[in-house]
Amino acid sequence: MNPEEKQIILVPGQTNFFKEILVFVAIALIIVVPIRIFIAEPFVVSGLSMYPTFDSGQYLIVDQFTYDFSNPRRGDVVIIKYPLDTSMYFIKRVIGLPGDTVSINSGVVTIYSSTTPKGVTLNEPYIEADHHSYDTSTTTIGANQYFVMGDNRNQSSDSRIWGLVSRDLVVGRPMLRLLPFSTLSVLPGRDTNEPQ
């Protein structure tokens, strides 16, 4: 044998090691890809329309699964496809539900529905005083539609401007706020005080 020739020596079990790595990668892809596509997806907040609840640059994991089995509730923070360009995603808060009439008078939101025919004014602790708007409008919501607004009312493009959001444009809800670590939280922005 020529001493310059290089020999490849297979250690017993080495071929099995590479095979195991390939099997592991395949299984990981089979598990992770569907979760990433159908259940949870990462989003980065851009802009200040939901400030102070969410700040620009915060990293969220969005639950895309829950709303396959239930409908958004009043007070839920949701990720939606922008109705005028569904390639864009917005983060907003659900204010009005199907069948409601949303009345805004100098920024104060009152909901009229079959369960509250005399109207109920929303308690919105997530809005800071200087983020309050002074809009006045009335909107009646149809079936499978939602009225959404940003928490920073003066800096938010929302249902007051471009109209109602159909149910099929609701992508999901923030499940985790991961970054920055100082804001780490589960179901961030959730408000349980609103009348359903």
Report, as residue numbers or ranges, the catalytic residues. Answer: 49, 92
| Cα 61 off chain centre by | 8
In this structure, are strands 170-179 and 59-63 parallel, antiparallel, or unpaired? antiparallel
Tell me the Ramachandran region of residue 187: left when phi exceeds 0, alpha when psi lies from -120 to 50, beta otherwise: left
196 and 114 Cβ atoms separated by less than 8 Å: no
User: 107, 106, 109: which is closest to 141 by C-alpha?
Assistant: 109
User: 81, 48, 57, 11: which is closest to 155 by C-alpha?
Assistant: 48
The H or E element containing residue 160 is: helix 159-162
As a whole number of Å, the end-to-end CA separation of the chain is 84
Cα–Cα–Cα angle for 159, 162, 167, rounded to 5 degrees? 60
